[in-house]
Structure 1
Amino acid sequence: MLTVDYDRLDVRPGMRVLDLGCGEGRHTFEAYRRGAHVVALDLSEKDLGTTRQWCAAMDMAGEAPAAASATTVRGDLLALPFPDASFDRVIASEVMEHIPDDVTAIAELTRVLKPGGLAAVTVPRWLPERVCWALSDEYHANEGGHVRIYKEDELSGRLRDAGLTVTGNGFAHALHSPYWWLKCAIGDAAPTRAYHKLLVWDIVDRPALTRVLEQALNPLIGKSVVIYLRKEEVAASVAA
């Protein structure tokens, strides 16, 4: 289940792609499938292990081009272990809302992105997230949980301040918002479990009806907002 539109991010074979806070690798897999050289970074060694296992399974199944590569790195978004301008594309999906010092994390993301490179940053959208916070303290008030609710213009401003140009936005996972509202309101009760089964069916089978419904609802209650960005190239100075 991807939050980022890889066609808009223009991920192509041979590119170096960094998946920040990769979790269990859902965005890493698609970049690998498209022939990129992917680096998946996370603090959780357990999640990195899952990412490695699935990438190995993709390799064995022939689901990634032979020239592609996927590497995992345990690291901190506040001090990325890469040189400046190392990556053609950077993805930070559902990460920034967990980081108290998001200004430093954004600066690091910008630092390792090549001039002319593209990035995608996704966070929970303000309205669906506000409903979750209102319904349940447990949803966010735990170690490693969400530390803030972003308004889109607030996050866009911080990204611009770091030197990135916003090129567009998008919304995703509208059908997931009611699930989280149910979970926050009544916990793991029968209606929540039933709705979860519907989501699994939708993810696996991708029926046309739910695809059309989600596209229609995304601008209204999409669970995530995606901001697409470019790091502008610095014009070479001309000698007088």
Structure 2
Amino acid sequence: MLKILTFLSCFLCMINNFCLASNLEHDGWANIKLEHSLVALENPIFTERGNISIQSLRLGQAIVKQNPLTEEEKIHLRDLATKNQFYQIRSTVVASDGSESKFLSTVKACMLAEAELDDRLLVSLDYTGRVIGVTLIIASRSTCEGAFVPLSKLKEFTTSVYVRHSDVGPTPNTQSYIDKLEREKEARERGEVKDNRSILAKYWMYIVPVVILLMVSSMANPEAAAGNGGGAGR
């Protein structure tokens, strides 16, 4: 048992070190194509918003290029805000290994309009550096205030990109448990540990099989049990 726990502790340490190394040493790039939906439809239609090029996932270095909104798009966005609808963004991520993945994110259109198109994109990575999520955030607003936003304020997006690495969880302290077992074993061998349990708690593993055997035997020979009962009556 102690050998198994020791091996498990070493194995968990190796996994933890591997994860840390992956986070610290792995680097790559990713291109993100941004599309948004400016009309409230059951099946939204996405149009191009811009592109983000993350040159270093480890350092979070990104270049953001986005299209200014046309007059028609400004009106659509303000209509979404007035009707308390959601603004949707779709991100298509192409990684350095050629893999492609898509992510959807939504915010209240009124929050985006009242923030005058100042938003944040949170790019989440797993421990290998693979993009596992792209989330749109309005940092300057937690709710809509109902303010009127002129179309002149809805011209261009000012977007900041943040790359978030996964945190490695703590390694279980298996060694302390192993040490405790060893101390208890040594104490039992020296006779320092007294067993204050009841007889039933000590020997239940012997008592239970006997009880089960008697029950099975009684159920298998009901006539013999009845005959014994009749004989006692005479």
Answer yes or no: same fold by TM over 0.5. no
Greater CA radius of gyration, 1 or 2? Answer: 2
Band the TM-score falls in, shorter-chain normalisation: under 0.3
What TM-score, normalized by structure 2, do the two folds share? Answer: 0.23
